């Protein structure tokens, strides 16, 4: 991976939603930055003031167990992880480039930020599309209601006309 761009799909596949935030885990970031997870976490601990709770947090045991069961099939190395990983938000990944202070870290962080931005733009477009679909649904429901009322009125008018124009019985009457 040296001096090469990391494919967007690789970075996207390492972004998880935890606590309603898009995050990346320390072991995935370490692999992208080409450092050991232990070294990455050491650098973070030496500069902990740069990582407030909205930049980085450690998963709970339940969060880790749930996530591990989801990603274990895709990543066999997950079973080997002994400690509960740290999760880094978009801002946390950016701060990592300052802490690790290498060209690789800077380049990878730039790529990661671009992927996060792409995901934000996608979410915004989905929200806009959802709103447009909702407006179409409302318009269709109103249209259908109007047509149903018109159809019911026509049906009533036809029944009325049938009733008043009923032919009288044809034939002879016999008196008995």
**pLDDT mean over 113-118:** 81
pLDDT (tens digit per residue) in 22-38: 999 999 999 888 889 99
pLDDT of residue 46: 92
Distance, in Å, from the CA atom of 162 to the CA atom of 160, rounded to the nearest integer, reads 5
SS3 of residue 51 by DSSP: coil
Residue 61 has pLDDT above 70, yes or no: yes
pLDDT of residue 124: 76
pLDDT (tens digit per residue) in 148-176: 677 777 788 788 777 777 766 666 667 76
């Amino acid at each position: 991976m040296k001096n090469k761009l990391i494919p967007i799909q690789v970075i996207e596949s390492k972004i998880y939603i935890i606590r309603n935030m898009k995050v990346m885990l320390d072991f995935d970031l370490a692999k992208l930055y080409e450092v050991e997870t232990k070294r990455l976490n050491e650098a973070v601990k030496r500069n902990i003031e740069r990582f407030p709770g909205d930049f980085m947090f450690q998963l709970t045991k339940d969060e880790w167990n749930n996530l591990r069961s989801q990603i274990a099939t895709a990543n066999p190395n997950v079973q080997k992880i002994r400690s509960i990983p740290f999760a880094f938000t978009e801002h946390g990944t950016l701060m990592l480039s300052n802490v690790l202070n290498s060209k690789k870290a800077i380049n990878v962080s730039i790529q990661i930020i671009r992927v996060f931005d792409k995901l934000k733009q996608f979410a915004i477009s989905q929200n806009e599309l959802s709103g447009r679909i909702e407006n179409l649904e409302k318009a269709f429901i109103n249209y259908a209601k109007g047509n149903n009322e018109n159809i019911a009125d026509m049906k009533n008018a036809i029944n009325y006309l049938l009733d008043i124009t009923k032919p009288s019985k044809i034939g002879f009457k016999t008196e008995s």
